[in-house]
Amino acid sequence: MRHDFDPQEFVNASRLCLEDLVIIDEPVRVEPILTILRYRCGFKVDAFYVLTAETSKMRIDGSAQWLHRVIGFNPGTDDVPAVSQSTVDDFMGFLARSFPPPSQLCDLMVDGRGNFLQAVNSPMAVSKATLQILHDTSQQDVYIIKPRALDTAGNWPWQLIVESAATAAEILQRPWGTEKTSVVRELAKRGIPFRMALAVSEWNLSLPRMEKSGLHCGLGIRQPGFKTSKEEYATYEDACDDFLLCSPHAIQAALGAGGIVWRLAVQRLQPTLVAGPQSRSGHQAMDLICSVYRVLALHSTASATDYCWWPKQSTWLTSGFNMGYWTSFNEYWFQKRLCDIRFGEATPRSAKQWKDALKLHKSLALNVVQKLESLSADCL
């Protein structure tokens, strides 16, 4: 069954992405730690739980220290309430060791998919699909989010898609309303990745493909020995502003990408409404947003190294900073880095330098993310 689409509706959707966008330069507000643990991780905030000799083995020494860094929160500014500290330590200890937490602690530990869906009783529905990537031969498993009431206002004929099972489960648990546009706004506020895709037919959806090119058009090519400065960074900010303001599709792609690309886009433009299908956004555009220079080697113009003020999205996504959402520690790091740049105390880094700088407790953080993905997938 094919859907009938009004092309003008998609043009209007893209224009709406630019409405009420203003250039900002202020910190992103992150939700309290227990709120994120509840909705992202399924943590039962008011759980009655008794530690046993067996479960005590899951605790990690120095929990109060590692816990905040692993899930991305700042000790002192976003502390777990004392009454919940022990329970949270135990809960995160299970996830960090790749064990399922007890059902007394986790809403995701339910007996079967039906019981979870019945318990959350969400106005949104989730279905799993394998989608074809446009202009490519590859496929991808994703989750399609749609309202149970299909005639609800604000649900335009594009599909809201997330790649993470944890994100899909979070959407079902959150009180984010009955419209796809409202869910998109909430995801965009938190740096949670999502995509908006055009439905070609009821069972045939298409995702935009990230384009690659041999050409480099981030901040351009620089000669050997190129030196940067805070003035050079200001030039980058102006170029990024101009690019985003003139490219609604790039705004959509950046806000839906999550991670550092999302944060840099939010630094320049504050969205109040994001709607409409995303088009392809190439690596070249992402290079500009992430402030990438290509610096030629001293003795060979055929060789060059990328340097950037901020890490590339690919580096961020495989780092210990990526929890699938923007954390308060991420924000602390971002503001410190931004301050250092503007005072002339920081310079662009290579991919290897960024990889080393973003490690943190990468193995423990990865365990938490992967275990949440597994538990969430079982519920859906």
pLDDT at 1: 28
Whether 372 maps to a domain, the answer reads yes
Whether 85 maps to a domain, the answer reads yes
Rounded percentage of the chain residues whose pLDDT exceeds 70: 69
For helices 259-268 and 328-342, give the axis angle rounded to 10 degrees.
Answer: 60
Query: Do residues 164 and 38 share a domain?
Result: no
The model's confidence at residue 25, banded by pLDDT at 50, 70 and 90, is low
Point out the domain boundary residue: 96, 123, 145. Answer: 96
* Backbone torsion region of residue 276, taken as left when φ is above 0, otherwise alpha when ψ lies between -120 and 50, otherwise beta: left
Whether pLDDT at 237 is above 60: yes
Residue holding tokens 């971002």?
Answer: 334
Query: Do residues 136 and 266 share a domain?
Result: no
Of residues 13 and 277, the one with the higher pLDDT is 277
Query: Do residues 230 and 285 share a domain?
Result: yes
Query: Do residues 274 and 311 share a domain?
Result: yes
Instruction: Determine the Cα angle at 358 with ends 261 and 247, to 5°.
Output: 10
Complete DSSP assignment for 324-340: SS--HHHHHHHHHHHHH
Of residues 244 and 19, the one with the higher pLDDT is 244
Query: Do residues 190 and 239 share a domain?
Result: no
Q: Closest by alpha carbon to 243, among 293, 292, 294, 286?
A: 286
Domain of residue 177 covers: 7-21+112-207
Whether 107 maps to a domain, the answer reads no
The model's confidence at residue 10, banded by pLDDT at 50, 70 and 90, is very low
pLDDT at 39: 93
Indicate the range of 4-13, 41-50, 135-144, 179-188 predicted with least confidence: 4-13
Query: Do residues 255 and 359 share a domain?
Result: yes
Point out the domain boundary residue: 207, 239, 267. Answer: 207
For helices 82-96 and 362-379, give the axis angle rounded to 10 degrees.
Answer: 90
Whether pLDDT at 50 is above 80: no
Point out the domain boundary residue: 72, 96, 120. Answer: 96
pLDDT at 5: 31
- Rounded Cα distance, 86 and 376, in Å: 24
Whether 149 maps to a domain, the answer reads yes
Query: Do residues 238 and 344 share a domain?
Result: yes
Whether pLDDT at 216 is above 90: no
Whether pLDDT at 138 is above 50: yes
Summarize pLDDT for 306-322 with one digit per residue, the tens.
Answer: 888 999 999 999 998 99
Whether 80 maps to a domain, the answer reads yes
Query: Do residues 149 and 291 share a domain?
Result: no
Rounded percentage of the chain residues whose pLDDT exceeds 90: 21
Query: Do residues 237 and 366 share a domain?
Result: yes
- Rounded Cα distance, 207 and 211, in Å: 12
State the DSSP code for 64: H
**pTM of the entire predicted model:** 0.82
Please answer whether residues 297 and 363 qualify as being in contact, where contact means their C-beta atoms are separated by less than 8 angstroms.
no
Whether 106 maps to a domain, the answer reads no
Q: Closest by alpha carbon to 174, among 161, 158, 185?
A: 185
Please answer whether residues 342 and 336 qualify as being in contact, where contact means their C-beta atoms are separated by less than 8 angstroms.
no
Whether 28 maps to a domain, the answer reads no
Query: Do residues 203 and 232 share a domain?
Result: no
Summarize pLDDT for 52-74 with one digit per residue, the tens.
Answer: 666 666 666 555 556 666 666 66
Query: Do residues 17 and 38 share a domain?
Result: no
Average per-residue pLDDT for the chain: 76
- Rounded Cα distance, 257 and 230, in Å: 27
Q: How many domains does the chain have?
A: 3
Query: Do residues 227 and 355 share a domain?
Result: yes
- Provide the H-helix boundaries in the chain: 7-16, 33-41, 63-71, 82-96, 113-120, 165-173, 180-190, 230-245, 248-257, 259-268, 283-289, 313-317, 328-342, 351-357, 362-379
Whether 139 maps to a domain, the answer reads yes
